[in-house]
Structure 1
Amino acid sequence: MSSDHLNPESDSFESRPSFCIGQHDSNRFETLTDGQYSYVLNSGFNFVTTPITNQHFFNRVVDLYKSHLQEREQWAQERGLTAAQRSNPSLPGPVVSTLTNKDTSYFPSSYVGALVAYSSPWIDLCSSDPLISSISRQVLNLEITYANFCGARSIIIPGPREDSGRGVAQYARAVQECMEVTTQTNIIIHMPMYREPGLEEKVETLSSLFREANDAEAEEKATKEIDLFGAWDSWHTIRSVCTYNTMLFVALRIPRRLPETDLQERWFAEPLHYLSLTKDIFQDNRAGHPTLSRNHQALITRYMRLKNSPWLFLTDVGPDTQNLNEAPGKMAIDFPSLSEAKQALKENRKPHMPPQNAYLGYIKYVERQQPPYSAMESPALTSFQDWLQSPLQPLSDNLESATYEMFEGDPVKYDQYEAAVTEAMAEWKLLNKPTSSATAEAPNCRELICAVAGAGRGPLVTRVLRAAERTGTAIQMWALEKNQNAYVYLLRQNEREWGNRVTVVKTDMREWEGPRLAANKDVITKVDILVTELLGSFGDNELSPECLDGIQRHIAPRPHGISIPQSYTAHLSPISTPRIHADLSARAASGDANAFETPWVVRLFAMDFVAQKVPGHARFQQAWEFVHPVEVSRADDFAAEHGRAKKYCTVGGGAMTGSSGTNDHNARHCHLTFVCRTRGVVHGLAGFFESVLYAPQVQGKEPVEISILPDQIDRKSKDMISWFPIFFPLKQPLYFPQDAELEVSMWRQTDDTKVWYEWIVEAYAWVGPNARIKVGASEMHSSRKLACLM
């Protein structure tokens, strides 16, 4: 019997996202007893929210506010104060005294860590009344500190109910104060995706309780046009004031009518902890059962692909108060009898379990319908989501075998390389090109001289040999590797796998003297096909241009000398990625002075491409290109001209200070303009590359390419995992308004000993048909201190 069903790597293994579903009752004022808590869990829920304080505390706060107003009025009347004197801001305000056991039923217990604390929704931190906002801030502090004492792992705070600037700033300041008193507790702000009517908290606030109803104001609010990005703006203010604290998250209220995709993707990039689903967003099917629209199902499926997928909680869907009141006072621990267990199995339920409510049952159904994880969503790849890695230094460092092995696990890349070599060899025969193995003594020799430079552990060598067998091409094979440890492995491969058909040379490719003819070892000839895999996430960031400069003198002259790859292009796009910015901020605070000056290799996932594709301005734009082989080698020409070794020459001139300028031809600069239709924030630049491995010379044939561009990878090299994107961070997030343009300037700099990048982003807003103003700019960033060494 096959054991494939036990093997997660087998085709028959299917893994799907699992849901953690909680229950929230907006009318609950007391913490559940242990029996009630057990009843809710037995209903099928995984966790429960609980209020921190109760109705008694609410009444006490209301009485405090009323008594303070009465005392102040009486005090003012006794002294005959005018209205202006009564409103003196220096007058002392009410102070909410500490909690007592009558103010709460939330206490430390064996299951308190499984309860999600929910702050009082009746406070109003945004109130324009300084007394109410002060009382609200005091209540929040009391609740947060007490929940933290009890051992709460997560505390949800209802978000601001309006997006006015002053109120949101007050709210953000209060949350920032709470972050200072919690130690290991997550603070989650409960925010709507946008201000859809009916999506807010139903509980009245202190402001609404003590303010006379204003029908005109209510009507104006109801008819006011909804700002789709207003709620996100408020959230952005809150987390900016809290300096992207890694303990601050968002619980997102899902609306009945989903907004445009841009807003859904914007929230996808945020640190989601919960998705909040109310009864109102469900629709009844023909049988009267609750269901979600296809768009809602697609949204949940999308969000559940995050490495730390959000939990869901259902609001006001039961169990109802009557069922909870009838729950036993203690947790049921009795085991069912055999007959009870048998009957429960027949009914497809667990014994002693209450019936599952219809809303929860449907969400469980949605969970079962989740698409299985794809090959690109394996646990190993998922673990790399938004995880920062320093770029490799392949020239200055010798890689370990495990690093080589990780890259060799990508068959797509090597399939494309093999296809490129196969096409090159087939065309060589078809076009009857000359070979570098032909000499005066053997003019009819048709062996191609092939070399793999930077062979590593030899996967490209294997693919070149395979291409030669497929096309029936006789070749002389060379493998060059500077890593002395990998050299040992290559020698072993040559004996065991390649039948000693390969000449293995331990050398830096830039110092190689060139291939020698098999028939006459004294004759140094040229390479017909040079194959390398020196590309980095940005194409040139691992110094492929500099390496190929040093070896391209050995490539046969055109038209038959071939470099694989033939060319590669670097591409940029501005992105919003709050999670990564929070990570970098934490690193900087811990002493990493270069955290925001490092181009990081990262599998970008929880992020939002802030630019849109418009005529003349693509979402992903080319920064620059490198083409090989170059007709001349600047370094060799320079050394010949000055009669000395280039590394000792410091002639200067117009090159970078202290350099001779021999590598200036590999410097680059770009200036790109991106159009942003909706307002937002940019945290850095995402970098990608594309490469033409081989462009056929026969008309009508498509080039063999690889790409990590999001809009091209599926077409050119689907499921290729060898390269993650590169990320150029901004030290300070750059906020931009609606219909803005982001101007990106980037430089590839060199001083002949190392290569680094410099970048700056500027934001412009149109104020007229032909006039723009700058509304913000980042500082100039430079990776010179972390440059890639030549």
Structure 2
Amino acid sequence: MSHSFMDQGSEGYNEVRPTFYIGQHDSTRSETLNESQYGRILNAGFGFVTTPITNEDFHERVVNLLRELSLDAKNSAQAGSIPDPVVPPLTIEDTTLFPSTYTSGLVAYASPWIDLCSPNHAVSSISRQVLNLEVSYANFCGIRSIIVPGPRQDAAKTGNGQGITQYARAIQEAFSIGTRVNLIIHIPMYREPGLEDKVALLSIDEDKSQTTLEGEDIDLFSAWDSWHVIRSVCEYDSRLFVALKIPRVLPEKELQTRWFSEPLQYLTFGPQTFQSNRAGRPCLSRYHQEMICIYMRLKNAPYFLLCDVGPELQAEPDNTQAAAAEPTTDFPSLAEAATQQSAGTTHTLQPLNVYASYFRHLERQQEPLSDLEQTTLTNFQDWLQSPLQPLSDNLESMTYEVFEGDPVKYFQYEMAIAAALRDWAAQGKPTSSPGGEVVIAVAGSGRGPLVTRALRASESTGVPVKVWAVEKNPNAYVYLLRQNQQAWGGRVTVVKTDMRAWKGPILSTSTSSDSPVYGNVDILVSELLGSFGDNELSPECLDGIQHVLAPGHGISIPASYTAHVSPIATPRIYADIQQRATTGEENAFNTPWVVRLFALDFVAQRVPDRPRFQQAWEFAHPLPRATLEAVEARRAGGVAGGGGGSMAGAVGANDHNARHCHLTFVCRSRGAIHGLAGYFESVLYESTAASTGEGEDGKVELSILPENIDRKSKDMISWFPIFFPLKEPLYFPPDTELEVSMWRQTDDAKVWYEWMVEAFMWVGPSQRVKVGGSGLCSSRKVACLL
């Protein structure tokens, strides 16, 4: 029993869970905490604290400035003149925030009474100046994060669009002043009644009210709309983040996913968000807990900010009383020492805040990160990688090693080879080897993982094989020779050549003959698939080696593969690409990036005949002989009137691998897309036997489609999706149809993609109008070379 207990303890010790960083915000706080108060909040279970930048004295001074300005404007009104107030610089009476040892643990909170959205020029100008003063001073003090209260009304409100653009313009200006700070917009997930700021805004009109009317319809996406305007005006600045107010009633998943894709810095919870459990202690609903679990899987997971939930900070002891308790000499008497100790016992240990304790409980309840998440998946979240150039570049050993770290892919390949061998034996097919063995060629062997799997499949099925490993990389060739010596027992013939130039297995080794006799291959195995199936030139490579495949009954593994796309919102990745483009990477927006998409929102809905993921095109192998003959005729100039091809200057020898698709996606809610997510599925082998024990219909498949990966190739990590970016985000209204056009283009020397997206809205039973478009994007300048 003790041994079992130790095992469990050791296992639990090694578990890694998402870490919760919990902060405290008090909306009534008007002064910066002193060191003692700061320490008491930390002792109550919090990791960081917010601080106001200016105090009530400054607020009163600004209000008086506005009053004086209003009186002057009434007394000296003149046509064409606009009052132009100037807020004087900060003084020592205006703030209690100063650089200190604990400033790094503080998050500044801008004054909630400023009204950047005000239609009154004086109010909006003063508010903008106050924000600039506060940002500048906090930046000087060493504060690195400033939370700015978001707009209180959205552009969806009639006549309120000007206010949101004014607000966005002010935030954009603040970035130029606070050169080292992050600005975090505090905004609700949606306008739930009760989430509004209660602090009165700076205003000339004392009766001004911006509360939500009872019974008024709530527009779930209006707050996100405002955020989209702000970050668009700020050009997706990498220092702009969201502090998201979590409502008591969570909205539909569609809105939760929309915010999940945004750059979240804080999730904020007020007392109204919580409910009470049976013991009367605060807790969150099951839906809130599920949302937190999802959000905490982000690589840069948001922090938690608990607002107005304590702890209550008592006033500091009176300094005169403390002085009276101090000894009058350097060496007090026993009586004086006892009096001093008694006076010091008024300080008690700060109890843990019940809300912070609850979040620590939630932290312990998080699902541990799997080994795969810790080592690979989390690190690669939303990290852009350039696609491989398999024909023009020789890969390094480390790259091969990363590929080989995926057991799922190679298990599926082994299953496919074994099924093909069983079918071959069951059907009594003739082999291409004089000795009766089935000839297997692994095209593009790399360091040989598929060779190992082919040998294992032979052993498990009892079908004898002859294996050829074909590899063009001279460095990998050396490694293959070593593998054949040490791991494969000399059972493999290793050939160093481009697979397209390989003439096939040599049957005659007689030196008397000037021309050796070449045979055929029965099963051709390759792992040339890319994130989009064909983006690493699998079709072209397999076309080039197909001439060695036994005619009539030769098998290609993979047998076929399909490319699939879906329009997505991924603002973090868009910001990354934009930064690359502005720092000299001119083709950043024309590159199809390989990326483990994570913080994203699939904007399309699942509707009949319009799924969320749609097939773009398909490739199948081997090609019909007539197609290969036509290719050779074009290449040799034997086509009458030929030479033009589909591209100017091309003879059309690779035109059979060009593709085009036009797909329609339906979007119910308004939003913005930043590009297209690309995926692939592949049928490695489809068995002809009645009962094989393989997948459905006897298929052995690979898939990275989110809807199918768990069913077809669960936990496979060899391929991340591909992302086709748009040069500008495409905003679309509710009930929009997004039409995606894509081309796989070739000029016989290289292969590239072109793509564009158009947004259409129905204005009648049979009429649509175009409401937006992306323009044509092309990867021709970064094409894959043949």
The 5-angstrom pairing of residues 554-633 of structure 1 reads 554-558=548-552, 560-632=553-625
Cα distance in 2 for partners of 1:502, 1:680 equals 56
| Residue 238 of structure 1 pairs with residue 230 of structure 2 | yes
* 1:730 pairs with one of 714, 721, 726: 726
Matched AA of 2:397: S
Matched AA of 1:625: E
* 1:482 pairs with one of 454, 468, 472: 472
- 2:278 corresponding residue in structure 1: 286
SS at match of 1:65: helix
- Offset at residue 324 of structure 1 (A): 6.9
TM-score normalised to structure 1 length: 0.91
Cα distance in 1 for partners of 2:177, 2:579 equals 18
| Residue 75 of structure 1 pairs with residue 69 of structure 2 | no
- Offset at residue 641 of structure 1 (A): 7.1
SS at match of 1:221: coil
Matched AA of 1:59: E
Change over 3 Å in CA distance of 1:767–1:203 after alignment to 2: same
SS at match of 1:378: helix
Change over 3 Å in CA distance of 1:4–1:468 after alignment to 2: farther
* 2:542 pairs with one of 522, 541, 548: 548
SS at match of 2:442: strand
1:407-455 residue CA offsets vs partner (Å, 9 max, x unmatched) = 00000000000000011111111222221225xxxxxx43101110000
- 2:757 corresponding residue in structure 1: 761
| Residue 154 of structure 1 pairs with residue 145 of structure 2 | yes
Identity %: 62
Higher mean Cα deviation, 579-588 or 633-642? 633-642
The 5-angstrom pairing of residues 285-304 of structure 1 reads 285-304=277-296
Change over 3 Å in CA distance of 1:12–1:622 after alignment to 2: farther
1:315-346 residue CA offsets vs partner (Å, 9 max, x unmatched) = 011111327779999xxxxxxxxxxxxxxxxx
Change over 3 Å in CA distance of 1:7–1:685 after alignment to 2: farther
- 2:486 corresponding residue in structure 1: 496
- Unaligned stretches of 5+ residues in structure 2: 156-160, 323-346, 692-696
8 Å CA contact 2:645–2:655 kept in 1: the answer is no
- 1:48 corresponding residue in structure 2: 49
Cα distance in 2 for partners of 1:645, 1:143 equals 76
- 1:308 corresponding residue in structure 2: 300
Change over 3 Å in CA distance of 1:741–1:643 after alignment to 2: closer
Change over 3 Å in CA distance of 1:510–1:8 after alignment to 2: farther
Cα distance in 1 for partners of 2:292, 2:75 equals 57
Cα distance in 2 for partners of 1:757, 1:274 equals 38
Change over 3 Å in CA distance of 1:670–1:324 after alignment to 2: farther
- 1:224 corresponding residue in structure 2: 216
- 1:528 corresponding residue in structure 2: 522
Change over 3 Å in CA distance of 1:651–1:770 after alignment to 2: closer
Matched AA of 1:536: G
Cα distance in 2 for partners of 1:767, 1:401 equals 57
- 2:649 corresponding residue in structure 1: 658
* 1:388 pairs with one of 384, 388, 408: 384
Change over 3 Å in CA distance of 1:652–1:715 after alignment to 2: same
- Offset at residue 518 of structure 1 (A): 7.9
| Residue 210 of structure 1 pairs with residue 230 of structure 2 | no
Change over 3 Å in CA distance of 1:590–1:97 after alignment to 2: same
Matched AA of 2:408: V
Cα distance in 1 for partners of 2:190, 2:6 equals 44
- 1:163 corresponding residue in structure 2: 154
Aligned residue pair count = 746
Cα distance in 2 for partners of 1:626, 1:11 equals 47
SS at match of 1:223: coil
Cα distance in 1 for partners of 2:279, 2:705 equals 46
8 Å CA contact 2:508–2:518 kept in 1: the answer is no
- 1:745 corresponding residue in structure 2: 741
- Unaligned stretches of 5+ residues in structure 1: 77-84, 330-350, 439-444
| Residue 321 of structure 1 pairs with residue 313 of structure 2 | yes
Change over 3 Å in CA distance of 1:499–1:186 after alignment to 2: same
- 2:450 corresponding residue in structure 1: 460
- 2:700 corresponding residue in structure 1: 704
Change over 3 Å in CA distance of 1:526–1:384 after alignment to 2: same
SS at match of 1:162: coil
Change over 3 Å in CA distance of 1:364–1:7 after alignment to 2: closer
- 2:329 corresponding residue in structure 1: none
Change over 3 Å in CA distance of 1:65–1:542 after alignment to 2: same
8 Å CA contact 2:563–2:616 kept in 1: the answer is yes
Cα distance in 2 for partners of 1:396, 1:477 equals 26
SS at match of 1:171: helix
- Offset at residue 131 of structure 1 (A): 1.4
8 Å CA contact 1:575–1:608 kept in 2: the answer is yes
Matched AA of 1:422: A
- 2:241 corresponding residue in structure 1: 249
8 Å CA contact 2:531–2:720 kept in 1: the answer is yes
8 Å CA contact 2:37–2:313 kept in 1: the answer is no
Matched AA of 2:87: V
SS at match of 1:692: strand
* 1:258 pairs with one of 250, 257, 275: 250
| Residue 359 of structure 1 pairs with residue 355 of structure 2 | yes
Change over 3 Å in CA distance of 1:601–1:7 after alignment to 2: farther
SS at match of 1:27: coil
CA RMSD of aligned residues (A): 2.6
SS at match of 2:366: coil
8 Å CA contact 1:515–1:525 kept in 2: the answer is yes
* 1:196 pairs with one of 171, 180, 192: 192
Change over 3 Å in CA distance of 1:651–1:768 after alignment to 2: closer
- 2:38 corresponding residue in structure 1: 37
- 1:410 corresponding residue in structure 2: 406
Cα distance in 2 for partners of 1:326, 1:265 equals 52
SS at match of 2:625: coil
Cα distance in 1 for partners of 2:662, 2:70 equals 62
1:666-698 residue CA offsets vs partner (Å, 9 max, x unmatched) = 000000000001100010000000000001112
8 Å CA contact 2:635–2:653 kept in 1: the answer is no
SS at match of 2:726: strand
- Offset at residue 12 of structure 1 (A): 7.6
- Offset at residue 501 of structure 1 (A): 0.3
8 Å CA contact 2:275–2:282 kept in 1: the answer is yes
Cα distance in 2 for partners of 1:203, 1:642 equals 76
Cα distance in 2 for partners of 1:645, 1:12 equals 71
Cα distance in 2 for partners of 1:242, 1:675 equals 29
- Offset at residue 652 of structure 1 (A): 2.0
Matched AA of 1:664: D
Cα distance in 1 for partners of 2:635, 2:188 equals 69
Change over 3 Å in CA distance of 1:127–1:643 after alignment to 2: closer
1:376-407 residue CA offsets vs partner (Å, 9 max, x unmatched) = 42243211111100000010000000000000
8 Å CA contact 1:5–1:13 kept in 2: the answer is no
Cα distance in 2 for partners of 1:639, 1:420 equals 31
- Offset at residue 516 of structure 1 (A): 2.3
Cα distance in 1 for partners of 2:379, 2:362 equals 24
Cα distance in 2 for partners of 1:5, 1:541 equals 50
Matched AA of 1:605: F
Matched AA of 1:403: T
- 1:338 corresponding residue in structure 2: none
- Offset at residue 644 of structure 1 (A): 7.5
- 2:85 corresponding residue in structure 1: 94
8 Å CA contact 2:447–2:480 kept in 1: the answer is yes
Matched AA of 2:15: E
8 Å CA contact 1:553–1:633 kept in 2: the answer is no
- 2:337 corresponding residue in structure 1: none
Cα distance in 2 for partners of 1:494, 1:518 equals 22
- Offset at residue 128 of structure 1 (A): 1.6
